[in-house]
Amino acid sequence: MTDAGRCVSVIIPVFNSEPYLAEAVDSVRRQDCAHLELIIADDGSADDTVGVVPRLQDGLRYVYYVNQGNGSPARARSCGPALARGGVIVFLDADDLWPPRQVGAAPLPDQSHGDRRAADGRESRRLPKNG
């Protein structure tokens, strides 16, 4: 399996999440997965969410920050998979926390077919090859 196949892309959609984003990211850091990338998709926050993001990069392999302007939670959530390079894509709301080994429980994709999976902690589903 390639590095991209072993990589887990964590997408955190945010809107005015300054008070709790650091704690959510810390819960991602505590995962036992060696290859993580973090995508923070901002739906046009009016607080200092953008100022918090640079302080969160330590200890994570990749952090991508996208500020798309205020639209909708669905739009913030859906922009992440286009940037994701991992074989598994998981979502975490900015005001939620994961217990240790939450990501390790996600099913690995079948990379022989170019498979990608998305999971939200309760279920996993295949993503089409184009997105």
Please report where in the chains the tokens 């072993």 appear, as a residue: 6
**pTM over 0.85, yes/no:** no
Q: What is the mean pLDDT of the chain?
A: 78
Number of domains in the chain: 1
**Sign (positive or negative) of CA dihedral 106, 14, 61, 26:** negative
The CATH number assigned to the domain holding 54 equals: 3.90.550.10
More confidently predicted of 93 and 115:
93
The confidence score (pLDDT) of residue 66 equals 78
> Do residues 92 and 26 lie in contact, with contact meaning Cβ atoms separated by under 8 Å?
no
CA–CA gap between residue 36 and residue 20 (Å, rounded): 20
Confidence of residue 69 (pLDDT cuts 50, 70, 90): confident
Confidence of residue 123 (pLDDT cuts 50, 70, 90): very low
For residue 54, the enclosing domain spans 3-127
Outline where the chain has alpha helix (H): 3-6, 21-29, 49-52, 73-83
CA–CA gap between residue 98 and residue 110 (Å, rounded): 25
Q: Name the range with the highest mean pLDDT among 33-42, 69-78, 117-126.
A: 33-42
